[in-house]
Structure formats: structure tokens, C-alpha cells
Structure 1
Amino acid sequence: MKNRQMSFDDEMFQANIKPEYWVNQSTSLINMAQNLTVTERRIIYSLIALIQPDDRDFKTYVLSVKDLAQLIGYKGKSFYSQVEKAIDGIMRKQITIYSTDGKQRVVDKIQWVQQATYFHGDGQVKIKLSDALAEYLLNLEKFTKYRLINVLRLNSEYSWRIYEFLKEDEWKSSSIVQRDKNKTWKSHRIMYVDELRRLLDIPDDTLKLMKHFRATVLEKAKKEINEKTDIEFDYEVHTKKGRRIESFIFYINPSQRFQDLQTDVDSTMDQVQSLVNVLIKNGVRVNAAIKLAGKYHYEYLRANIRYVVTSASSKRNQAGYIISAIEENYAHYEGPSEKTERDPFYNLILGQVEQRLKQVNERDNKALEQIIKKHEKMLLENPHADIKQIINSRKSSIMSELDKIEFVRNQQNHPSLSEEDISNQTIKDIFSEWKAQIIAIDVY
């Protein structure tokens, strides 16, 4: 397995997970007992969000392990093994469906993932959903849909599942008034406690006391869903048998905070892109800039960067000074510094910013290397040509291309090309001379 190379002879698709993608699934799948952890759900439902409306069967997706690690919130050197462990866990999980054929009880057990192949050298995983899930995810007539962003932010599997139950009924029922609070709700759903425990895969010997069930499951879900998703809900006891609570009624409204999802995505993307760009423009290496943006709160970073760039004193090692300022809080920012909660939405955005920078560097390197190849071809085709003239022509063409790259990057709000971004040594040498000329012009 380790010596295999990834083959693209089969129909495979490079996955690019985005938080604004839709998750579509049948209502019957939502109302089946599931025992996935939050980590496992983030992977599975990101795959489900990649399914297109016109798909007739499941595709085999190729995903970057690093992207999956950002989605899950794994960091450090062992993220590859952590991702592999998470996917292995999914492959052991099943959905159990109980039915009857009229004569006998039938039990179907369906796996979520049909196959996963790891390519350690490429840092990628090839993965496909189980074909047995097709009737619940493809060509749907009765289905529930929601944006991936609404569940990626949830940190409890109970919150995620309750969100799905409520989304299923969001548009079904007529409006209802919650009498105790005199509040009108768009919709509602009544759920029995036994049904909730079964669907949430809570064993009989777990959370036996209702106060513990409400605190761990319902109250936590209420807090998370109301703060982080496109709906809000409240609940209260619906029926009792003696002193025992038999069912709850859930009241559902769309949330005003998440009505314009794309604005939220675009705003976060712009914030992260701007933050990373400022760090890079001040000499911080790309990898270090991405790491800082992933570790510290946005406002904390912005405060300390502003402190440095507005400082009257000029530092020879500006990048080092910025990093020290961030690590030691030179700006005396009073809010939280490091992120304490995993935010897959933010991580995905950060990953997209990193990927965009990588693509820009690859594009510009390719353009510069084409000039090198062009002049090499000129020399091969005409061995008697004036070598000095060709070298001067090559240098002039590369400098002109660097001017163009700088202009385009400024227009697209990308940081300037740096020496570390360039892979070809000849181009690096010319870049150093070009950079010196630019600095001389600025000084003049």
C-alpha cells in the first residue's frame, strides 16, 4: 500500500469542501438512530455536501488530509494519523434499520463508507460513500436540506442531530404561540423522550435523570443552535405520565443572525485574507502567517499588528518583531488571545486562503519558468546565437514579468511575490536584482 501511487484511471474527483455547500438527505435517514461522533459527522457530511443534484451514483473523492485535519480541528505533526484514525472509526460505524417483510423482522446494517485508500506520500485520501446509502442521498423526493456551515460550528453530536430534527419540521407546521412567553413561532415539533434517546443513541443506563438529560442534551443544544445556526428554538414539557416527562414540544424560528450566509462567508474570507496578507507583507513567512491566523483571535492579532506597523521605531527584523508582539501582547489587548474552541468553518476559510496563496505562487512561478524554457529553446534551436544577448533578453523578460506579477497581485489584494516563493534559482537571482531596483525607486 505504501508503495502505490495514486491512479486517476478510475473516475475520481478532487474535493474542495466549502462551508456554504448544501447538505441534502432523506427525512428517513435523519430519523434513523446514528452513533457518529462530531468528528466523524464532520467528515461524512462534508462528503454528502459534495453530492450534486444531478448525480446518479456516488463519486470517489480525493481529499487532502491537511484539509480534513483543518475541518476536524486537528493540529500538530500527528494530524495525518489522527485523520486516518477518524476515517477508520467511520468505517466501523453502521446505520441499523429495523423493518418487516410481513413474515419476519428484518434488520439492515449499512456502513457509511464503502472504501478509503490513504496515500501517505501525496498527503491525500481517496474515499467513497457506501452505495447502500444511495436511496437516502440521491434522487430525493422527500428530503431535508441545510448549509454545511450551520453544523460545522456545533461541538456536540446531540446539537447536530437535534438541529436536523428541527430543520425537518422548520417549514411543515403552521405558526404556534408559546403561551408561557407569549411568543409566536413559525413551526414546532413534538418528540417523545424515548424517541429522542433512541435517535440520539443514548443508552438506557446513560443520563437516566431527567435533569442530567436536559442539561447535557437539550440545554446545550439550545445554546449552540441558537448561537451558531440559521434557526433558533425553545422547548418545554408537552406531556407527562404521572411525574415522568413523556414528551417535549420544540418551537422553531428562522434566525435573523444567519439570514445572509454568503455575506458571513465572504466577510470572514476577506478578514482572514487581509490579516495573512499584512503578516506576509511585513516579512512573516507564509506558513508562519497561516499558523498565527489559526492560533490567535482575529481582533487580538489585528491589535498587535497595528501596534507594530504604527510604531515610530523602525526594526531591522520586522517579521520577528511582529511575531514577538503577537506572542507577548505588546498592544496590551484585553480580550481573549488564543482560540479556545475548534471552529471548522474558520479553519476551512483559513485553508482556502492558504490554498489561494499556493495557487497564486504556482501561477506566477509557471509564468516565470516559461520564460526560462523559451530562452533555453532559443539557444537549442540556434547554437551559434549570441549567448550574452539571450541571457540579457531572458533577464529583461523576467523583470518585465515580475512588474506584471506585482501589478496583478496588488489588484487582486495578494501579498507581493517573495524570494521564498520562487523555486528556480536563476529566477531567484534575477528577482533579487529586480527587488533591489524597486526598493531604490521607492527610496528615491
Structure 2
Amino acid sequence: MEEGTKTLVFKDSNLVSKSNSIIEASYKLGLVEQKVIATIASNISPSDKDFQTYTLSVKEFTVLTGSKARSMYSDMERIVKNLMQPFSFINSEGKKTTIAWLSKATYNTGEGTVTVRFDPDLKPFFLLLNEKFTRYRLGNIIRLRSSYSIRLFELLKSYEGLTERTFTLDDLRSKLGVGDKYPKWINFRQRILDHAMKEIGEKTDIVFEYTTIKKGPSINAVKFKIRSNPNVKIKNEVIENKVSKVVENDEVLEIQKLGQEMGLKLSKKVISAWLQYGRENVVTLMESIRYKSSVDNPIGYISSVLPKLKENEVSEEAENDIIQKVVRQVIIEHIPKKKVHKIDMLPDWQIQLNAIETFSKFMTDAEALDLWNKKGKEITNEINEQRFKMIH
């Protein structure tokens, strides 16, 4: 990996922030190209003053995008080269603009990686945003299989809070980059709108319905009704604040507040270092030692354990912390709602799902199952003993 580059991190929880002006622009971009752009954008920190250079693992990207193409390595070389080519789009002011997505794209032969960096002219669209913009979790679009679905998701997501949005048919075709394809309404509806409605509803945190508006005998516009999807749990938010409000990163503030509750004064530098291992890992580890007096140096402990969680090298001490998290979760979920004199013992099968789900955040599914098989009875006994003590 080149000096000064960062490894591109692929996580469903990564936040993609885009200026609404680039979301509203008319341009055509392929499926994988859109995912590359979104993934790079999701690695930008609100505190970044300039674009960073990232190393993208082709193999990891192939797995996360669900691609089975045997030519993915050569395809990726072609894709990043395409992203370096200037393209024209109509900006929010109606002006034709020519720009390139990437200023650097190096295919590292033999390493299975690509080194990429956004073109500096994209700063107004992705960095230090000072106008309305939309934020969503990367997990919303990374598994979509249609480039039109991704574009339509972003267009509707930017209006999610307003519940309705209407496009003229010509404007919608232009924004989706359809060009001359599917000139007949029935084909456009079936191949793009109906397909996107099904895919977005199954894989993202919004759902939509649409109706047509006619002008004479012809369809002139499409009206979308947008609402949150209760069946997909990916936390998202649409941001319409100035940059001064954006820089105070949600996750940093959350960790600072939790630290204050634990009596820890955490600098943003320390928190940023922790967050590279994932918010869930940081919060879980902090909660696991919250009431543990045996940890003399909580900040040092967390800093040393997090890399092991990231690499699935869970120490015995960290393993015990994770088990205690399961114990607390289950006990809280089964606290009697009223005073009782007797409680039923919880069977291990009732605890197993919760335990394996928590273990899997820190290790592979196979390792999580193996840990349950080794510690399941012990965990069940501890939970039941603590619940029994609660009423005596």
C-alpha cells in the first residue's frame, strides 16, 4: 500500500453524505461505479479538510457487492479508469458542468487492490458541505443490483421527510441517466420503476409508491409517495444543516457522552482512533467495563482491546466482557414487570439467539457458534442465578 493511503472500510453502517446538488444532477453512472463512489464517500470524515487517498480491496468489494464475475479484477481496472474520465452533467443551477469523479486511480497489479482519490473539484459535493445534503447508510445501496435503483433511492431519500415528490417524466429519465432506453412508458415502468420499487422496498430503509399524472392522453409526470421502511433496520437520516452543525459527528458526541457517564474525559482524537474499529465495538466494550472496578485504566484497556476485536483475535478477557454483555442484555429483557415471589428459569434455547447474535459482532459466525457451544450452559446458569437473586 502506498505511503499516506488509507484502507477503504466497507461497513453497512458507514455514512454516505452527498450534496443535494449532485444528487439532483443529471448524469449516467454504472452500477459498480456508483457503489465505488458511495463507498469512498462513506469513508470521508466530517473533520477532513481535503480528500484522502484510499486503497480499495477488489476481492472484498466483490464479496460485498455480491458480484460473481470471474473478470472482476480486470473489470475493476476498467471501472476506475472510467471514473477518471471527464463527464458532463447539469448542476442544480441548470449549468452544464464537466468534471471527473477521480483524480487518481491506480490498479495495483498482483496486489488485488486499487488506489483511488476523489477529484478536488468534487469538494463542494462531498466535503465540508455548506448546503443541503442527504446522509444515508452505505448498507442501503451496496446490495442493490440496478444502477437505476441506486439513483432513485438517493433522489427519494433526499425528500424522505416531505413524503411526496413529483418529477416530470422527462426530468426523471434525465436524472436516472436512462437516455434513449425504454422509450415506451410500459417498458420504462416495468424495467425501471417497478423493479426499483421492489428492490428498494426489500433492501433499503424507505419504501415508495407512485402514481402517474397525464397531460392529455400522454403521461407527463410521476408522483412518488415515500415513507420509512419498518422491515429494514438501517439507521439513516437526512441532513439539512450548515457545516458547523455537521462537524460535530454524531458518533463522537455519543461516545463522549457515554465517557462522561463513566467518569472518563475523552478527547475527539482518542474517540476517532477508537471509531475506526466500529461504533458498535466501542460502545459494547465501554458498557462491558462500566461497572468493573478491576479495570484501573479504562482508556488504555479499550485502546488495547479494540484492535483485537477488529481482527477477530478476541482475548479471553475480552471474551468474558462480551459474555457479560449477553448476560446483562438477557436479564434486562426479562426483568419482571411487577413484584413476584418466584420466577421461571430461562432455558438455554431462549438465550442462544441473543448470545450468538452478540458474539457475531466480534467474531465469525462459526466462532460465535463455537463459543456458545463451549459457554452456553455457563451463561444460562449465570443468568438464572442473577435473576433468582433479584427477588431475594
Same fold (TM over 0.5): yes
Matched AA of 2:158: E
Q: 1:37 to 1:93 in 2, by over 3 A?
A: farther
- Quote how far apart the aligned CAs of 1:413 are: 6.2
Output one character per residue of 1:214-266: Cα deviation in whole Å (capped at 9) or x when no partner: 111111111111111101110101x322101111110011010123559xxxx
State the TM-score, normalizing by the size of structure 2: 0.58
Question: Structure 1, residues 381-430: CA drift from partner, whole Å, max 9, x if none?
Answer: xxxxxxxxxxxxxxxxxxxxxxxxxxxx9xx76779xxxxxxxxxxxxxx
5+ residue gaps, structure 2: 237-306, 316-358, 368-392
Identical-pair percentage: 35
Q: What is aligned with 1:52?
A: 45
CA distance in 2, matches of 1:193, 1:92: 29
Residues 30-179 of structure 1 mapped to structure 2, 5 A cutoff:
30-75=23-68, 78-92=71-85, 94-97=87-90, 107-140=96-129, 141-171=131-161, 173=162
Q: 1:43, 1:72 within 8 Å by CA — same for their partners in 2?
A: no
Question: Relative to structure 1, is the Cα distance of residues 232 and 162 closer, same or farther in structure 2, using a 3 angstrom cutoff?
Answer: same
- Which residue identity lines up with residue 219 of structure 2 in the other structure? I
**One-letter identity of the residue aligned with 1:139:** L
Kindly provide the CA deviation profile for residues 261-291 of structure 1, in whole angstroms up to 9, marking residues without a partner as x.
59xxxxxxxxxxxxxxxxxxxxxxxxxxxxx
Q: TM (normalized to structure 1)?
A: 0.51
Q: Look up the SS of the partner of 2:141 in the other structure.
A: helix
CA distance in 1, matches of 2:226, 2:126: 25
Indicate if the aligned counterparts of 1:69 and 1:83 stay in contact, CA closer than 8 A.
no
The match for 1:233 among 208, 225, 228 is: 208
Q: 2:169 aligns with which of 193, 196, 215?
A: 193
* Aligned partner of residue 162 in structure 1, secondary structure: helix
Report if the CA contact (8 A) 2:208-2:226 is conserved. Answer: yes
1:189-218, Cα deviation, whole Å (9 max, x unpaired):
011101001111222x42121111111111
Matching of residues 24-423 of structure 1 within 5 Å: 24-75=17-68, 78-92=71-85, 94-97=87-90, 107-140=96-129, 141-171=131-161, 173=162, 187-203=163-179, 205-237=180-212, 239-259=213-233, 359=311
Q: Secondary structure at the match of 2:11?
A: coil
Query: Contact 1:74–1:82 at 8 Å: present in 2 too?
Result: no
Change (3 A) 1:83 1:71: farther
The superposition leaves residues 287-327 of structure 1 with CA deviations (integer Å, 9 ceiling, x where unpaired) of xxxxxxxxxxxxxxxxxxxxxxxxxxxxxxxxxxxxxxxxx
C-alpha distance in structure 2 between counterparts of 1:150 and 1:193, whole Å = 25
Q: Cα distance, 1:70 vs. partner?
A: 2.0
Aligned length: 251
Secondary structure in 2 matching 1:252 = strand
Q: How does 1:422-437 map onto structure 2 within 5 Å? A: none
Structure with higher Rg: it is 1
Gaps of 5+ in 1: 1-5, 174-186, 263-354, 364-408, 417-444
Partner of 1:177: none
User: Structure 1 210/54 Cα, relative in aligned 2: closer, same or farther at 3 Å?
Assistant: same
Aligned alpha-carbon RMSD (Å): 3.1
Q: 2: CA distance between counterparts of 1:123 and 1:95?
A: 31
SS for the counterpart of 2:231 is helix
Q: Distance in 1 between matches of 2:15 and 2:184?
A: 37
Q: Structure 2: how far apart are the matches of 1:190 and 1:170?
A: 13
Q: CA deviation at 1:76?
A: 6.9
